[in-house]
Chains A and B, each alone.
Chain A
Amino acid sequence: MVDFARVQKELQECNRDFEVSGIRVVPNGEANLAHLLGTIPGPLGTPYEGGTFKIDITLPDGYPFEPPKMRFATKVWHPNISSQSGAICLDILKDQWSPALTLKTALLSVQALLSAPEPDDPQDAVVAQQYLRDYQTFVGTARYWTEAFAMISSLGVEEKVQKLVEMGFPEALVRSTLESVGGDENLALEKLCST
């Protein structure tokens, strides 16, 4: 059974310093804390800068003694992240997991992975090849994917807010909810309905 007391505290602590870290973890949909949605900002000075990446988190029964299952829900072009499934190749999410780590530290590690790819231990061989052979193309593709999938266009946000407000939710709540789920309209709606 997942240690929900710990998860609850982790969420509180993580979201407390959201202003500093930019990392947020929220329950994903159901009241069940075993499914979470993390968001990390793309690190500055990388092709991922400016993007907000959503990470689907599933807590196994053994958490925190087993690592959380993390997967990019946002498409991302990175040697260690599957461009298809979003699977992450990161040792601390596998054999190097420690129960002393938390969701926040794990997400920080994922963020660090974005800024420091390890093409010699790839998850996505195509991306890794490109990274090693043609770095400029890699940067261009990564930048394009970031802009295409990870950025919340301000126009889109206003439309979504408008739509959700029409559904009868207060605007302030809609905005904060949209922000917390990284601008995804459907997630925001789910969250609004569940609260």
Chain B
Amino acid sequence: MISDSIANASIAMASSNPKDFGKKKRANRSAKLKQCKLDARREQWLSQVKSNGGCKEEVHGGGMTHGLPAGPENGRRIPIEKLELKPRVEGIYGEMHQYSDSESSPSNSPTSHSSSELGSNDSGANFTASSRSSSSSGRSSSSSSNGCFSGGISDEDEGGVGDDGCLDDWEAMADALAATEDKQQEHIPNSGLDSPPSEKHGGSTKYGSQLSVKDRPFSGDDISNAKQESGGTAIQKSLIHSQAWRPDDAFRPQSLPNMSKQHSFQLDSERHFGQGGSVWGCKNVGPVPKSCPICYEDLDCTDSSFLPCLCGFRLCLFCHKRILEEDGRCPGCRKQYDCDPVEGEATLDGGSLIFRLARSCHMTTTS
């Protein structure tokens, strides 16, 4: 029943969505602008490095893990957004939502959130929610509970239509995703993704939900403000998002169950490996060897995104360092790792640093 109440809440809150969605979009737009700037700057920086593709891919790959888990739950996104926004209109809903947020999250099971179940739960959910709202606060009038009920019904229709629209229109989808990004971060854990990575979200999630709960009673703009304040993470996430969706959108629904697992380092790096490889393939550098041709040790993902010489000869960072300490010539073409590679080497190290930072950044935003 508690989970029902959440489903209901998300549905019931939906009534005021068009306006709010507009605001949301505006906020999202400014966030996207920042995003673009950041992105451009990063690209600028990385473009000096030959292996920036790999690093970038890594960043996006990491981001993808954020975006993809919500794939089939698209249907829920809009309602969630509505849910978030609705409380401006009526504080009671905010309280109720707060209540359900805090209480229901532990008991939520993933299945309770599939859209079909959501739909089937609707009527009962609405009922309990309205009763709860009335019980939890004496101020709630029968009209408000009615409103809640009607809101739930209308949302059921709207939700279906809106979902289809979003699924059809990928740009709108991306906007919505970016807009709901941090909201999702709040709700994904509530929605009971059982994977350990989602537990990593715990910290930020709680914080996020508390934040939104606090904001809610004040004014409608608070959420967008909050979003602005958390711009750093929000931007990064949405940037990650818009980039990360593209390659995978075709099979996204199928791969969805795995996505929560993709928070794990291993899969991340594998993904990076593959994408980095394809990027390098585009640059006509050839396939990435599995092991270092010098020491015969396996190349890790940092090594395989490391391209110190234009001739395309790859080696592990250890051997590269060793060679630089001696004559500093590429083993593949015997040319000096000259100023370009030397500079490149420094920036490459920087690049790998970025890539590591990006990852840790990613971790800190999520944990």
Instruction: Judge whether A9 and B296 touch: CB under 8 Å.
Output: yes
By DSSP majority rule, is chain B's interface helix, strand, loop, or mixed? loop
Instruction: Judge whether A99 and B334 touch: CB under 8 Å.
Output: no
> Which of A3, A64, A96, A98 counts the most B-chain CB atoms under 10 A from its CB?
A98
* Cβ 8 A contact of B331, one of A3, A5, A62, A98: A98
B43 to chain A, nearest CB (A): 33
Size bin of chain B's contact surface: 10 to 19
Instruction: Judge whether A100 and B296 touch: CB under 8 Å.
Output: no
Instruction: Judge whether B323 and A65 touch: CB under 8 Å.
Output: yes
* Cβ 8 A contact of A5, one of B293, B296, B332: B296
Instruction: Judge whether B329 and A98 touch: CB under 8 Å.
Output: yes
> Which of A3, A5, A99, A100 counts the most B-chain CB atoms under 10 A from its CB?
A99
* Cβ 8 A contact of A100, one of B293, B297, B322, B326: B293
Instruction: Judge whether B295 and A96 touch: CB under 8 Å.
Output: no
B319 within 8 A of A: yes
By DSSP majority rule, is chain A's interface helix, strand, loop, or mixed? loop
Given A9-B296, A99-B319, A65 contacting B334 (CB threshold 8 A)? no
A6 within 8 A of B: yes
Instruction: Judge whether B296 and A6 touch: CB under 8 Å.
Output: yes
Q: Which residue of A lies closest to B294 (CB)?
A: A99
Residues of A within 8 A of B331 (CB): 98-101
* Cβ 8 A contact of A96, one of B294, B323, B334: B334
Separation of A3 and B295 alpha carbons in the complex (Å): 7
B99 within 8 A of A: no
Q: Which residue of B lies closest to A5 (CB)?
A: B296
The count of A-to-B residue pairs whose CB atoms sit within 8 angstroms is 31
Instruction: Judge whether B334 and A98 touch: CB under 8 Å.
Output: yes
Instruction: Judge whether A100 and B332 touch: CB under 8 Å.
Output: yes
Separation of A6 and B316 alpha carbons in the complex (Å): 14
Size bin of chain A's contact surface: 10 to 19
B208 to chain A, nearest CB (A): 49
Residues of B within 8 A of A62 (CB): 326
Q: Mark B327-340, 1 if CB is under 8 A from A, else 0.
A: 00101101000000
Residues of B within 8 A of A65 (CB): 294, 319, 322-323, 326
| Interface residues in B290-342 (C-beta closer than 8 Å to A) | 293-297, 313, 319, 322-323, 326, 329, 331-332, 334
Residues of B within 8 A of A100 (CB): 293-294, 313, 331-332
Residues of A within 8 A of B294 (CB): 6, 64-65, 99-100
| Interface residues in B264-313 (C-beta closer than 8 Å to A) | 293-297, 313
Separation of A9 and B297 alpha carbons in the complex (Å): 11
Q: Which residue of B lies closest to A62 (CB)?
A: B326
Residues of A within 8 A of B323 (CB): 65, 99
Residues of A within 8 A of B329 (CB): 98
Separation of A98 and B333 alpha carbons in the complex (Å): 9
Separation of A62 and B294 alpha carbons in the complex (Å): 12
Residues of A within 8 A of B334 (CB): 96, 98
Residues of B within 8 A of A64 (CB): 294-295
| Interface residues in A158-184 (C-beta closer than 8 Å to B) | none
Separation of A5 and B318 alpha carbons in the complex (Å): 15
| Interface residues in A131-169 (C-beta closer than 8 Å to B) | none
Residues of B within 8 A of A5 (CB): 295-297
Q: Mark A36-63, 1 if CB is under 8 A from B, else 0.
A: 0000000000000000000000000010
Separation of A191 and B293 alpha carbons in the complex (Å): 30
Q: Mark B33-46, 1 if CB is under 8 A from A, else 0.
A: 00000000000000
Residues of A within 8 A of B332 (CB): 98, 100
Separation of A5 and B298 alpha carbons in the complex (Å): 12
Residues of A within 8 A of B326 (CB): 62, 65
A28 to chain B, nearest CB (A): 22
B294 to chain A, nearest CB (A): 5
Separation of A6 and B291 alpha carbons in the complex (Å): 11
> What are the 4 closest A-B residue pairs judged by CB atoms, nearest first?
A100-B331, A98-B331, A99-B294, A99-B331
A-contacting residues of B (Cβ < 8 Å)?
Answer: 293-297, 313, 319, 322-323, 326, 329, 331-332, 334
23 of the cross-chain contacts (CB-CB < 8 Å) are: A3-B295, A5-B295, A5-B297, A6-B294, A6-B295, A6-B296, A9-B296, A64-B294, A65-B294, A65-B319, A65-B322, A65-B323, A96-B334, A98-B329, A98-B331, A98-B332, A99-B294, A99-B331, A100-B293, A100-B294, A100-B313, A100-B332, A101-B331
Extra contacts besides A65-B323, A96-B334, A98-B329 (14): CB < 8 Å: A3-B295, A5-B296, A6-B294, A6-B295, A64-B295, A65-B319, A65-B326, A98-B334, A99-B319, A99-B323, A99-B331, A100-B293, A100-B313, A101-B331
B-contacting residues of A (Cβ < 8 Å)?
Answer: 3, 5-6, 9, 62, 64-65, 96, 98-101
